[in-house]
Structure 1
Amino acid sequence: MSTLPVALVQAAPIPLDVSAGIEKAVRLARAAVESGAKVVAFGETFLGGYPLWLDEAPGAALWDHPGAKALHRIMLEQAVVANDARLLPLQELADASGAIISIGAHERVRRSLFNNQLTFRPGLPVLNRRKLVPTHGERLIWARGDGSTLGVHEAEWGRLGTLICWEHWMPLARAAMHNLGEDVHIAAWPTVRESHAIASRHYAMEGRCFVLAAGLVQKKDDLLAGLERVGGSEVARELLEAIPGEVLNKGGSLIAAPDTRVIAEAGEGEETLFATLDMAEVAEGLANLDTDGHYARPDVFELTVDTRAKAGVMWR
């Protein structure tokens, strides 16, 4: 394929209520593929919503905080798991349309939560991409991913990969992904503020790939409404009500070309960005910059990536 139609869905998640979030995601993704998109991208933890209280609620990080504990329990109860039947409609949509759908979710593995960017691929198992380092307050809820989920999907038009949020400021993670030869990269963010836009456009230039920087739209009232949908909790409500301000995730999503130029950019509300990518731009950009090839010095620098899954306990 010389051109690739893509869609970036900037939308408000349904916080905490993952099943309702999946229904909304399917509806939005279906509209995108019906408009011709072959790649559909959603932002970080769209399924379940970004845990804004970690950054915004005073006291959320205090030891033994009742509201934080109640929210953690709800997230464990709601999180997706391996082979989760609730996700089947997204896989079925990918299978029927031939499109790739990338969407962020809270995932439960045993009794821990992970930040996972799920990539649904036609006729293939879902591709997991667990965040390697939860950022700052995120470490209160998410475990660290391992190297086993660093990978790309190989399509007929090229390779697609993803990093999550501040992984874009991990130079060795970027180097590893560039080595995998991405043609299209999904940068999943909770909101694409200026520094996130800079990181996304830099990644496009450095990796000589198209970047879909996907953000969310999320308000304080969304959090409170989501809490009520899953049964509520008085101590959790008190924590969320203490958040100052109303609009907390402000979108700002964009699609960047391999030369850093912005092809499409969203505002602060819900909208879907569409673009047709000229895949020839990838190879043409490599003429003067290939950070994994002619612009590399493997005789000076060497990177080893451990892709073994680390379960922590081995039963023999």
Structure 2
Amino acid sequence: MSAGGRMVRAAAVQIAPDIARPDGTLERVCNAIMEAAAKGAQLVVFPETFVPYYPYFSFVHPPVLTGPDHLRLYEHAVVVPGPVTQAVSRAAASGRIVVVLGVNERDHGSLYNAQLVFDADGSMVLKRRKITPTYHERMIWGQGDGSGLRVVETAVGRLGALACWEHYNPLARYALMTQHEEIHASQFPGSMVGPIFGEQMEVTIRHHALESGCFVVNATGWLSEAQIEAITPDPKLQKGLRGGCHTAIVSPEGKHLVPPLTEGEGMLVADLDMALITKRKRMMDSVGHYARPELLSLQLDNRPARAVVPALDPMPVPSPIPSPRSDAHEADDAADLDHRIAVLRGSAG
């Protein structure tokens, strides 16, 4: 890895979606991309499933009441490729900036928690789906597969991404570590659970930075009081839609490069000194000199999951080739078989 002397300016965005007008969320994304580019950022990361919005309704309402909200999410979900990806692609190319965007992806009759990575020329270099939706999310999204556990080459270096509690699956993180990610984009919904969620998030992303020896750029969403009240009028349930924000940029040494953003809207910008990757890995390279593959290793099925697998023509079964044996040998074998059958019958009796 020859990362020495290279600097990358990264941005992490914490803003609210436009829940009342989902198309407005895309406008907010494109505006933030251009703002980050104007600040000299070469990479910008947005929150989990930010377009059109994270399904907060599923966290505070029982499944039997979520039908209308779920159908509305279907209506405004992102088809990949489609108009939303085209708009983000144009913005990325215009700003010459790498974009990591979380979306609710619609694939015919199913929704998925998807992370999209656009390179600085506007090309989409990665679409991955969260491998296991968490708790209430399982009523909203389908499961992803191992094909998305992939690090991609971008204008800012080798980039990997995971969403929310995927970071609590150590083997998922290790799959990216083995591909030598230099920058890890992490995305959480934000505005959920309370302060404890943000505290747990900080531990998680700082640990991954240390263990992987990479930079972590983390983005969380934000809900205004008016949005919280629109999701649920119940003051008790509203408590579950506050706090839980921790937008941050962390170095391979586990240090915050700028103070994290835990409340309100904003954009963090920091310069990543890529030489710090080698500095960290000289001491501890989890997939190199510090690994013990003869003792511990990862098995990864990175094939895309498919509902239909074409049947292959059955392979012809070759006929056994008889070995040259005499009639006397065959008679001996038959006698031996008869003897063993007689013994078994006698034992059974």
Give the TM-score taking structure 2 as reference length: 0.80
SS at match of 2:129: coil
Q: Are the counterparts in 1 of residues 209 and 216 from structure 2 also a CA contact under 8 Å?
A: yes
- Aligned equivalent of 2:326: none
Q: Are the counterparts in 2 of residues 154 and 160 from structure 1 also a CA contact under 8 Å?
A: yes
- Aligned equivalent of 1:228: none
Which ranges of 4 or more aligned residues in structure 1 deviate by more than 4 Å? Answer: none
Of 71-80 and 189-198, the range deviating more from structure 2: 189-198
SS at match of 2:116: strand
Are the structure 2 counterparts of residues 126 and 223 from structure 1 closer, same or farther at C-alpha, using a change threshold of 3 Å? Answer: farther
The offset of 1:21, in angstroms, is 0.8
- Aligned equivalent of 2:46: 42
Of 204-213 and 183-192, the range deviating more from structure 2: 183-192
- Aligned equivalent of 1:74: 72
Of the candidates 245, 257, 263, which is equivalent to residue 251 of structure 1? 245
- Aligned equivalent of 2:261: 266
Of the candidates 219, 241, 245, which is equivalent to residue 233 of structure 2? 241
Are the structure 2 counterparts of residues 105 and 249 from structure 1 closer, same or farther at C-alpha, using a change threshold of 3 Å? Answer: farther
- Aligned equivalent of 1:310: 305
The residue type paired with residue 138 of structure 1 is: E
**Deviations 1:24-52, CA, capped at 9 Å, x for gaps:** 10011111111100000111111122222
Equivalent pairs, count: 297
**Deviations 1:58-97, CA, capped at 9 Å, x for gaps:** xx13xxx1x3011111111110012111332210121222
The residue type paired with residue 241 of structure 1 is: P
Are the structure 2 counterparts of residues 49 and 218 from structure 1 closer, same or farther at C-alpha, using a change threshold of 3 Å? Answer: same
Q: Are the counterparts in 2 of residues 11 and 217 from structure 1 also a CA contact under 8 Å?
A: yes
In 2: Cα distance, 1:116 partner to 1:16 partner: 22
Of the candidates 209, 222, 231, which is equivalent to residue 204 of structure 1? 209
Q: Are the counterparts in 2 of residues 213 and 254 from structure 1 also a CA contact under 8 Å?
A: yes
In 1: Cα distance, 2:304 partner to 2:296 partner: 25
Correspondence list, 1:4-19, <5 A = 4-15=8-19, 17-19=21-23
- Aligned equivalent of 1:172: 171
In 2: Cα distance, 1:223 partner to 1:74 partner: 18
In 2: Cα distance, 1:255 partner to 1:15 partner: 27
Are the structure 2 counterparts of residues 195 and 137 from structure 1 closer, same or farther at C-alpha, using a change threshold of 3 Å? Answer: same
The offset of 1:189, in angstroms, is 0.7
In 2: Cα distance, 1:133 partner to 1:12 partner: 25
The residue type paired with residue 190 of structure 1 is: P
**Deviations 1:246-293, CA, capped at 9 Å, x for gaps:** 853553211111111111211301010010111100011101111111
The offset of 1:211, in angstroms, is 0.4
SS at match of 1:297: coil
SS at match of 1:287: helix
In 2: Cα distance, 1:196 partner to 1:224 partner: 25
- Aligned equivalent of 2:194: none
Structure with a larger share of its residues in strand: 1
In 2: Cα distance, 1:312 partner to 1:247 partner: 36
The residue type paired with residue 218 of structure 1 is: L
In 1: Cα distance, 2:69 partner to 2:156 partner: 42
The higher-RCO structure (CA 8 Å, 6+ apart) is: 1
Correspondence list, 1:23-172, <5 A = 23-57=27-61, 60-61=62-63, 65=64, 67-123=65-121, 124-172=123-171
Q: Are the counterparts in 1 of residues 77 and 106 from structure 2 also a CA contact under 8 Å?
A: yes
Task: Report the aligned-residue RMSD.
Answer: 1.9
In 2: Cα distance, 1:274 partner to 1:36 partner: 9
Identity of paired residues, percent? 33
Give the number of the structure whose alpha-carbon radius of gyration is greater.
Answer: 2
The runs of 5 or more residues in structure 1 that have no matched partner are: 226-236
The runs of 5 or more residues in structure 2 that have no matched partner are: 191-196, 312-349
Give the TM-score taking structure 1 as reference length: 0.88
